[in-house]
Each structure stands twice: as C-alpha cells, then as structure tokens.
C-alpha cells in the first residue's frame, strides 16, 4: 500500500530534481530558441522568485481551503506546465509556460511539510520531516546528472520526464491523501496577497540581478522602488485586515519565533556558499566543470544521509538540542570554508560543504518539528509557507550582502585569484557571526520560560 510519506517523498524529489536539471539545460535552450543570456536565465530565476513569494499566499490559502486539495492541484498544474514547456516553439513561449509550472510549484512545496505534520502523530513527525528533507537533497544531488543524461535526446525531454513522474504522483495523491480535517475559518486576504505579490517578487528580482548589473543600475533601482511600495502597502493592509495572511500573534509564540530566527540567520550565512563556491573553484582553483559539480554535490549528499537520522533523534530527544547541534556543525563548515585561499584544494572545499550539509540535515527536520509543535494544526499551512519563503529571502539577502562585501574588497585590490580568495574570506568573516548566533536560537525560548 502506498503511504502518505511515499507520495510526498516522490513529489518533493520531482520538484527538487526538476529545478536543478532545468539549470543544466539552459545552454541547449539558448542554442535552439535564441535570446540573450540574461533572458534565458529568467527560466531558472522565475522558479525561485515565484515559489518564494507565492508560498506565503498559498500557505494561508491551504489552511482555509484545504492543504491536500491545494497540494494535489499544485502537482497537476506543475505537470501540465511541464508539458506546455516541452511544446514551446520560442523563448517567449517557454517563459510564459514556465508561469504555470512555478505556480504549481509554489502551491505544492509549502503544503508538503504541513501535510506530513498533520498526517503523523508527534512521536513520528520528526522522522517523516527528515525523509522530506532527504527527498529535497536527493533531488538536488541527482538533478544535474539526470538533466545531462536527458540532454542526449533533447532539452524537451527534461520537461516530458516531469509528465511521466508527475502524472503518476498526481494519481497516487488522489488515492492516498485525504481531505484535511483541521481548517482555519475566515476568508482569504486577497488585498494583502495583491500587495505582497507586488513587492516581494520585485525585491527578490533586485537581489538576484544586482550582483551582475550593479546596485546603481536603473533596473535595480526600479525593482527596489516597486518592492518598497508593495511592502509598505502590504504591512499597512495586514494591520487593518480582519484575517491577514500572516497574523502578528504568531510571532508572540516563543518556540516558533526562535525556529524562524534560527532559519533566517543560518540561511543568510549558508546560501552565499552555493553561489560563490563554484566561482571560486573555477576562477581561483582552476577546476573543470565536472570536478566542480562533484565537489558541490558533497552538500546535498551529506544532507540526504543525515536528514532521516535527525528526524529519528528529534522524535526521541528534545528537537531543540538536535537543531542546535545541526546549526553548530553548519557553523564549523562555514568556518572551514572561510579559511580557503588561493592555494587550497577541492578536498578542503568538499570537507566544508560536507560539514555544512551534515549540519543542515540535522537542523532542518528538527527545526520544522519545533515550529509545527508550537502551533495549532489549523495554522500548519501558514507556518510552512513562512518557513519556505523566509528561508529563501534570507538566503538571497545573505548572498547580496556577501557579494557587496566582496566587490568592496576587490575594488581596492589588484584582483586575480588571490584577490578573489581574500575578498571571499573577508565576506565570510562577516557572515560567520550570523551562523554562531543561530546556534542559540532554538534554546532561547526554553531559557526565557525558565
């Protein structure tokens, strides 16, 4: 018999694998459909921006309309969008067809942890969340390799593969997943969602493009202005709304606030590694693309291995200690990475990424269990959307901050491999304190209560 965790695991694997396999296909797409490199990059950027910004909206909607129903619709919409992308005859068509794919992604991603939290009792919840985190890591590990294999046929095969797996998962979800019993009463905050979708995507777009175009470019200033207007309108609307998307009362919950702060601090310190490490290994160490890919896989591989163990331990011990241990290992991994220089080797980078991956594997499931254990079941979707959205936003902010620090150092140096390595060391010397402060966040609510 197919279980709930099996359906959620394969769906999560599909989403994660697809995101990273599509990145591999971008050069082939540009070669066939044409377009500038900046335009083609929007195929990948769109997935990150839409899923991060829409997660808050769909998280709240799931609590009102049913998390399972929204999850099933998301899988179907994502699969249908993949088929449309496979039939695209031009780059504008492909970008347009990516919209339903990313909307389906944003529907399903925040619903998965919420469904697991509501489907399994507290004594098994951590283990299920651990397997969910493992699915994300396995998809990330295998995405580039499977994408490269499918490219032997055509880049469209990557999207058509989603049809086969997505169709099977959608059918299984209709049979296995049952309608939610715990729902929040009230109406959806459409006005708040409108202003959020006006400001949040613009903010993420500015953070994504600023490292290549510069913070003073007219495009970045435009997106930042749009984001400020949207955020101000959103905050004003939320304080007046009868049923806001994000209720301020949630942040009065000490364990939930501690879990959120731990996620924000760790994400802001950790995410820059994923952007800077490939550049460092290519430009400073001179490694070939295959070696860079293998070295980068140390993070998701170690996360995939340790996530189920974290869930198991979180069910038997206090998950706050498991979360704090994971954050400590992340900090050690970042400390090792901050020491790499022009004479370092790929082995040192792999060790740093492996340690950070082990720490992430311990931290994420335990942190999710803390968050879900602190609230009522009717708010699982909202909190899951917050975890998804806030983590991505913090990572983008941390990456932009690290890039700005490196640019400031490089402007006063001779550049070259040595200059890049020194600039990177300087940037991570500023990021490390965020990771260290994050270690105590899971334990603060306990201290305050005492």
SS3 per residue for the chain: CCCHHHHHHHHHHHHHHHHHHHHHHHHHHHHHHCCCHHHHHHHHHHHHHHHHHHHHHHHHHHHHHCHHHHHHHHHHHHHHHHHHHHCCCCHHHHHHHHHHHHHHHHHHCCHHHHHHHHHCCHHHHHHHHHHHHHHHHHHHHHHHHHHHHHCCCCCHHHHHHHHHHHHHHHHHHHHHCCCCCCCCCCCCCHHHHHHHHHHHHHHHHHHHHHHHHCCCCHHHHHHHHHHHHHHHHHHHHHHHCCCCCCCHHHHHCHHHHHHHHHHHHHHHHHHHHHHHHHHHHHHCCCCCHHHHHHHHCHHHHHHHHHHHHHHHHHHHCCHHHHHHHHHHHHHHHHHHHCCCCCCCCHHHHHHHHHHHHHHHHHHHHHHHHHHHHCCCHHHHHHHHHHHHHHHHHHHHHHHHHHHHHHHHHHHCCCCHHHHHHHHHHHHHHHHHHHHHHHHHHHHHHHHHHC
Q: Which of 215, 242, 269 is at the close of a domain?
A: 242
Which of 242, 268, 283 delimits the end of a domain?
242
- What is the pLDDT, as a whole number, of residue 196? 83
Which pLDDT score is estimated for 252? 82
> 172 with 2: CB under 8 angstroms?
yes
What is the residue range of 365's domain? 247-450
Query: If 0-12 CB within 10 Å is exposed, 13-18 middle and 19+ buried, where does residue 172 land?
Result: middle
Closest CA to 151 of 31, 294, 274: 31
Distances (CA, A) of 20 to 52, 136, 156: 16, 11, 15
Total structural domains in the chain? 3
Say if residue 141 is in the same domain as residue 28. yes
Residues 99 and 206 in one domain: no
- Give the pLDDT of residue 448: 46
Looking at 137, 170, 185, the residue that finishes a domain is 185
Same domain for 62 and 162 = yes
Provide the token pair at 278: 């490939």
- The CA angle 130-133-139, to the nearest 5 degrees, is 140
Whole-model pTM: value is 0.86
Running along the chain, 450 residues long, what does each successive block of 10 average in pLDDT? 81 86 80 73 72 82 85 92 89 87 88 88 86 90 82 86 89 82 68 83 77 75 88 84 77 86 92 87 85 88 92 87 93 93 89 94 92 85 87 84 83 76 89 89 61
- Residue 66 dihedral angles phi and psi, to the nearest 5°: 115, 115
Q: How far apart are CA 348 and CA 439, in angstroms?
A: 23
My answer on whether 296 and 440 are in the same domain is: yes
Task: Say if CB 281 and CB 291 are below 8 A apart.
Answer: yes
Q: Are residues 439 and 298 in the same domain?
A: yes
Q: How many CB atoms lie within 10 A of CB 253?
A: 17
107/55 same-domain check? yes
Residues 63 and 179 in one domain: yes
Shared domain check, 329 and 258: yes
Tokens of 186: 């009230």
Q: In sequence order, what are the residues at sequence separation of 6 or more whose Cβ sits closer than 8 angstroms to the Cβ of residue 334?
A: 269, 270, 273, 352, 356, 428, 431, 432, 435
Residue 1's pLDDT is 42
Please report the pLDDT score of residue 23 as a whole number: 77
Is 223 in the same domain as 288? no
* Residue 346 belongs to domain with CATH number: 1.20.1250.20
128 and 18 part of one domain: yes
Half-sphere exposure of 421 (CA within 13 A, CB side): 18
- Are residue 6 and residue 153 in the same domain, yes or no? yes
Give yes or no: residues 321 and 401 share one domain: yes
């Amino acid at each position: 018999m197919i279980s709930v965790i099996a359906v959620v695991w394969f769906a999560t694997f599909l989403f994660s694998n697809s995101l990273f396999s599509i990145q591999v296909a971008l050069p082939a797409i540009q070669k066939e459909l044409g377009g500038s490199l900046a335009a083609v990059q929007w195929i990948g950027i769109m997935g990150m921006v839409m899923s991060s910004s829409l997660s808050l909206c769909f998280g709240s909607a799931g609590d009102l309309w049913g998390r399972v129903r929204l999850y099933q619709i998301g899988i179907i919409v994502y699969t249908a969008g993949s088929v449309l992308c496979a039939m695209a005859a031009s780059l504008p068509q492909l970008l347009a067809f990516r919209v339903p794919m990313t909307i389906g992604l944003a529907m399903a991603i925040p619903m998965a942890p919420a469904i697991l939290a509501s489907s399994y009792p507290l004594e098994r919840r951590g283990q299920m969340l651990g397997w969910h985190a493992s699915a994300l890591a396995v998809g990330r590990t295998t995405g580039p390799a499977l994408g490269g294999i499918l490219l032997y046929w055509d880049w469209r095969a990557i999207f058509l593969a989603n049809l086969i797996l997505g169709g099977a998962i959608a059918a299984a979800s209709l049979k296995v997943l049952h309608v939610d019993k715990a729902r929040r009463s009230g109406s959806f905050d459409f006005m708040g969602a409108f202003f959020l979708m006006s400001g949040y995507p613009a903010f993420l777009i500015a953070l994504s493009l600023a490292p290549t175009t510069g913070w003073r470019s007219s495009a970045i200033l435009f997106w930042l202005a749009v984001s400020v207007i949207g955020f101000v309108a959103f905050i004003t609307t939320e304080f007046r709304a009868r049923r806001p998307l994000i209720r301020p009362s949630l942040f009065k919950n000490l364990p939930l606030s501690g879990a959120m702060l731990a996620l924000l601090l760790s994400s802001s310190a950790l995410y820059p590694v994923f952007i800077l490490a490939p550049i460092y290994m290519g430009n400073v160490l001179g490694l070939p693309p295959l070696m860079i890919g293998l070295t980068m896989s140390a993070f998701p591989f170690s996360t995939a291995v340790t996530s189920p163990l974290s869930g198991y331990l979180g069910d038997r011990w206090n998950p706050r200690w498991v979360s704090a241990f994971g954050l400590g290992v992340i900090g050690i991994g970042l400390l090792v990475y901050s020491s790499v220089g022009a004479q370092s080797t790929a082995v040192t980078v792999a060790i740093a990424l492996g340690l950070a991956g082990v720490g992430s594997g311990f931290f994420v499931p335990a942190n999710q269990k803390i968050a879900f254990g602190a609230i009522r079941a009717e708010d699982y979707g909202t909190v899951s959307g917050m975890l998804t959205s806030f983590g991505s936003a913090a990572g983008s902010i941390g990456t932009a901050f690290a890039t700005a620090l490196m640019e400031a150092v490089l402007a006063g140096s001779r550049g070259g491999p040595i200059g890049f390595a020194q600039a990177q060391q300087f940037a991570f010397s500023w990021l490390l304190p965020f990771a260290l402060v994050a270690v105590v966040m899971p334990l603060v609510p306990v201290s305050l209560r005492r």
